[in-house]
Structure 1
Amino acid sequence: MKYIPQAQVICALYKGTEKITVLDRKDLIGDLVTIIDEAILFLKKHLNLRYEIKEIRRKEILEILEIAIREAVVSAVCHRDYFEKGANVMVEIFDDQVEISNPGSLPHGMTLEDFGKKSITRNPIIASLLHHIHYIEKMGTGINRMREACKEAGIPEPEFEITGFFTILFRRKTSGNFGINIGINIGLNETQMKITELMK
């Protein structure tokens, strides 16, 4: 950070669907691994959580599965254009979507059709570091993992926008069906079932 001050991640939570009112913001500065982990924690703090109770222990399910947001954040940090000094990696949460963007378009020689099939890195030293600590595989598999995680969560597949920035966009569940899912094999009595339905 002393030598590359633009190597930071800005996390923001907005009220509504526009960049007007900021409810929470965190500027992440430090080593790349800490920045990645802190950005993921910020997302987990503000995304909806569903509890699925089918056994004795409840299962916590994030509305956008952690594997998807992790892949997106790691990709943004790994593949950003670090020569662009006037922009940062952005992690932005709106009521209807999550946007994770990084300065820089696709690496030279890659197109959207190559996603999930080929791997080209803009920053090979950073990619090598993240590969050695098992954050990436350097095989172009991250895109497919994000797509599969979104299918599993019941949300649309991520969308990709390419301008001077590369943006990954996740659509959020805006209906009120994200809450508690109680398995019928837990043995709840009638009163408990009514309470559960009211909570849902």
Structure 2
Amino acid sequence: METRTLTADEALDLLARGESHFWDFKSSMSSGKVIQKIGCALANADGGEFLVGVEDVKTGSALDRWKGFASVEDGNHIMQSLSSDVSPSVPYLAEWLQVNGHESAGFACLLSIRKSPVVHEISDGTVYVRRNASNAKIDAAERVNLALSKGAETYENQELGDYTADELAQEDELANFLGTLSPKTAPADFVRKQRLANVETGKARLSGAILFAESPSAVATKRCAVKVARYETKVEKPDRKHLSGVPVTIEAPAYRLIEQTIAEVQRLIEAVSVLKPTGEFEQLSYPPEALKEVIVNAVIHRDYNISDDIVIRVFDNRVEVKSPGRLPGHMTLDNLLTDRFSRNPTINRLINKYPDPPNKDIGEGLKTTMRSMAHAKLKPPRFAQEDNYFVVTIEHTPLARPQEIVLQYLASHDEVTNAIARELTGINSENTMKEVFYDLRDTGVIERVPGKGGNRSAWRLVQSTTSADTPEATDAGSGRRRQRVQPRRLSRSKRRGKK
């Protein structure tokens, strides 16, 4: 543990923090149970920090609140509360702080708690979770859901009351799958050896149903299909008027579900046309590997404890895949491409035994998506957690700078409007697109088309001022006369003035 001396300003900044989901203050007089409660609550939620040695003083200066321990040894019970008195120990880092010029105020202990992949309980067996700026006690049912969401327990092992091991062993998909394996194994033996059922109760487990049942939702009594919808728009928040046709619901064993979903999404994508910098409309396309990996991850790693379908929406300029369940265990948006954690290890492992497994390179799925998008010169996918869902957005937005795309279009067209330029570049805002035009104008490359204003406003390459008979005035192969203009650079203040 480190000991550090803060300046008075640093201490005041620390004391000015408001208590929140990730931060709290505790008195040096706090009992071991209070320390246990907040430590476990933060570890059970998203992690955070708390400072022990600060009082809730209503009068005097802010520094009067700093009332720490006379010595570091006086705070040893804090470490015991987080390591020995809770089960299991909370993952923490501790740092002792004192304030320069206020040494008599003592040492405060700064505790940094990491989000934990397991559920922690205080000494009396109670479980707390950090919610906003408080520590909430949860009941037995909530504890089960907490363990499942963390990956400490996996819902794929849940037994299904009305679906038996014998029924699972008779599924056609299981027979087809076993026909590809060597050495040959009888269906009943495979179900038993792979723990796809409880041999004592005779009940099949969810993992077996997801992998091999003809209709997983029917036997799991939870929605676990895929819905695919087409929206004829580019807006961020579409409504019903943008929906084209009726969304398709796909229900099948996991391997077939992935195959059929990829085919349906590809079919919808191929029906969309996009404007290219050449001025021609071409069929919309995404790297097949990118789409496949995102869909595979959604099916294999979704939270089957949540009764909802995977929803895939195909827009004019993007594909969104919304999968039930937040990131499991220690996974975060920051370590998504570097760490691994399987929410459904049995499903992940057994689907990999197919002759052409969709998860061939385990742990490489989203990395493959990133690489394939970069290879296609498209922007990388966006990852987000929205409520209780993980969302991946694949955009059809070129990596090339908008200025380059505009000039490429003008190389074969007389003019370009704001609307066409936004179609080409993937920029949604008219004002942002204007800034691109202004940048090109300020370097002397383009100019407004005379006589066109308002909604008809357009831009063109700077027109020739040389004689029509000079070779410089004619673009090779186009017959259109251009002046070779040397870009001129303006100061930032002049550019801002022109805007």
Smaller-chain TM-score bracket = 0.7 to 0.9
- Distance in 2 (alpha carbons) for counterparts of 1:139 and 1:11: 25
Aligned counterparts, 1:118-133, within 5 A = 118-133=339-354
Which residue of 2 is the match for residue 73 of structure 1? 295
Deviation at 1:106, TM superposition (A): 0.4
Structure 2 residue ranges without an equivalent (≥5)? 1-215, 274-282, 398-422, 426-499
CA offset digits 1:133-169 (Å, max 9, x no partner): 2211474211110001111122100000113100110
- The structure where strand makes up a greater share of residues is 1
Structure 1 residue ranges without an equivalent (≥5)? 51-60, 177-200
- The one-letter amino acid of 1:170's match is I
How much is the aligned-residue C-alpha RMSD, in angstroms? 2.7
- Distance in 1 (alpha carbons) for counterparts of 2:284 and 2:353: 27
CA offset digits 1:49-98 (Å, max 9, x no partner): 89xxxxxxxxxx9721111000000000111111111x210111111211
Which residue of 1 is the match for residue 239 of structure 2? 19
1:169 equivalent among 393, 397, 404: 393
- The one-letter amino acid of 1:26's match is V
- The one-letter amino acid of 1:147's match is M
Q: Greater relative contact order: 1 or 2 (C-alpha under 8 angstroms, separation 6 or more)?
A: 1
Aligned counterparts, 1:119-198, within 5 A = 119-133=340-354, 134-137=357-360, 139-163=362-386, 164-173=388-397, 174-175=423-424
Which residue of 1 is the match for residue 227 of structure 2? 10
- Distance in 2 (alpha carbons) for counterparts of 1:116 and 1:131: 20
- Distance in 1 (alpha carbons) for counterparts of 2:261 and 2:239: 19
Identity percentage over the alignment?
22
- Distance in 2 (alpha carbons) for counterparts of 1:109 and 1:138: 21
Aligned counterparts, 1:35-54, within 5 A = 35-48=257-270
8 A contact 2:225–2:252 mirrored in 1: yes
Structure with bigger gyration radius: 2
Aligned counterparts, 1:103-122, within 5 A = 103-122=324-343
- Distance in 1 (alpha carbons) for counterparts of 2:342 and 2:361: 8
- Distance in 2 (alpha carbons) for counterparts of 1:30 and 1:89: 13
Give secondary structure in 2 for the equivalent of 1:90: strand
Deviation at 1:130, TM superposition (A): 2.2
CA offset digits 1:92-140 (Å, max 9, x no partner): 1111211011110001111222223221111111111222222114742
Q: TM-score, normalised on structure 1?
A: 0.75
How many residues in Structure 1 have an aligned counterpart in Structure 2? Answer: 169
8 A contact 1:115–1:140 mirrored in 2: no
8 A contact 1:119–1:138 mirrored in 2: no
- Distance in 2 (alpha carbons) for counterparts of 1:137 and 1:108: 23
Deviation above 6 Å: which 4+ runs of structure 1?
none
Structure 1 residues 167, 84: closer, same or farther in 2, change over 3 A? same
